[in-house]
Structure 1
Amino acid sequence: MNNDIPALKERLLIPDVWQRLGLPGQPAASCRSPFRTDKSPSFSIYDGGRRWKDFSANEGGDVIDFIATACKIDTQEATRRFLAMAGVPLAVTSSCSHSMRPASLVMPLLHRGSTTEIERVAKTRHLCPEAVSLAHCLPTLAFGDVCGFPCWILTDQARRIAEARRLDGKPFPEMDKLGERKAHTLKGSSKAWPVGAAVLRRIPQFRAIMLVEGGPDYLAALHFAFLFERWGVLPVAMLGRSAGTQMEATALSLLAGRRVRIYPHADADGGGMTSAQIWAAQLHAKGCQVDFFDFTGLNRRDGRPVNDLNDCSVLCAEQQPHLHDLLP
């Protein structure tokens, strides 16, 4: 592979890198900054996509400078990431094959998580590091920069959906037309695809499924599977209750005939259960034996009610026996 950086800069332009990093907005000669809240256009991509200028911040440069600013890294690391995006083989690569994802899903450059990154996710979500490592090995968990922040990213080898959360546990700030949000769904994702279902293509022996809502509950399911040594149970996650209208037919076929326990969020408006019931009807039609876990009456150690599976990782001491009924 040619490692001539000037030639690669002619081929991999700033608008391409903008999309691969999952930054908000649309690159143009006059557009809003992808790096901060920009109420009026003060950013420009010019010279055929080779150069950029942020007039408000008085910053600019070429595609490598763009990566450095977006990811808050030095030029050396930005150059390494640029080469990886351009297809130059590197010593450290993503644990997941990019060639498997549909062209419509815009993915950032992924990498295998370090011990520090894995432990940081575990600490933020009150989970054991082994659970995060399990997701890393399946592989349904990767790491990368999204919207300029280091993130953990939930996806699977089907590459139908990917959702990022910040490593520091903070929400993504309001940018362009996107409001503040705990999770950022990558462009081109299909929320009808349950993350983890693709594991069944390689390992069809799982007979029981924990169907959860959202990335933190997915990791929590692995946490409890590890805690109770239930290796025959596979967690699968719908990323958001808004996906409750329909699961993709391919995923339903992979789940067919299995025992499925669903863990609806205890939302005040009942939306979590509504979505769960829709998923259950589709699974019943595929010959699945479906039941629900009810969080009603359970409390966290801080006295607040348990609303989801991740909350069960900080269940109050006197209610710990309820955990033995958690898994199907």
Structure 2
Amino acid sequence: MATQSEHQQRDQGEFVRARNRFAARITADGADGWPVQPQRYRLVVSLACPWASRAVIVRRLLGLEDAISLAVADPIQDERSWRFTLDPGGVDPVLGIAYLAEAYATADPTYTGGISVPAIVDVPTGQLVTNDYPQITLDMITEWRAHHRPGAPDLYPEHLRAEIDAVNAEVFADVNNGVYRAGFATTQHAYSRAYTRLFQRLDALAQRLESQRYLIGETITEADVRLFTTLVRFDAVYHGHFKCNRSKLTEMPVLWAYARDLYQTPGFFDTVSFDHIKRHYYQVHTGINPTGIVPEGPDLSGWDEPHGRERLGGRPFGDGTPPDSP
């Protein structure tokens, strides 16, 4: 996730997400030159960013905290993008840098594109390895398996991968990226098209989830993680800030119960910061909200209310166990 200007192109008023420039993979066999090695890499995130939050959740669920360290950037960016002003002295204590852009420059001094999170940085060299957010979590699941905690869930079961991939593609196009296509549209037609596709997909997902607890199978998978990070931001920012205002999440009973079910699951609620979410979107996207005023609402207390979805069966972690409390 980058600033509005950094991470978009224009096509007849439509928002087009830029491709990830750094797509090396960290794998068990080190085929790309980056072998899995505990404590070698640092995951840089913003708790405001839905794409980064996927990685934070997956890291927690799999118990990779000791294997991959975590850096949390300030939700408010300046002209150099993500910065480490939450740390003492404004410098990341492991990487020794003030801006994530420095790791990008170490990887490629000629790079002039957007600075996005999540990003994985090689600690010994200080260079960016990857900002390929869809692949980062899949590799955490498949390539880092030897370092998963005992009882870690299988978030990407082999027999369900084709279905997970298909659902993820639809959710990305119409929901995860769909809210951005609505929010950053510069013509009425582009906005209306994104708005329509978003709510058609949400209605279809609600119908799917009416009779099953999780998107695919009987347990939480990568697909649930990807949908959750958009739903948890929906009322706080997307409904008003991005004009996705046909319905609030709290007005869509099935999706609201589903989102609360996930939120109340260990590994999810402890990765969410509504403060970071709201301040980032409303203060950084000055093209949409030039005053920078952060709204007081909505009331977010309902996330802890009972959801009742246990009646649908399913086991959040399958044969595994929940992660320990942070």
TM-score by length of 2: 0.30
Greater strand percent: which structure? 1
Higher Cα Rg, which structure: 1
TM-score by length of 1: 0.30
**Relative contact order higher in (CA < 8 Å, ≥ 6 apart):** 2
Greater helix percent: which structure? 2
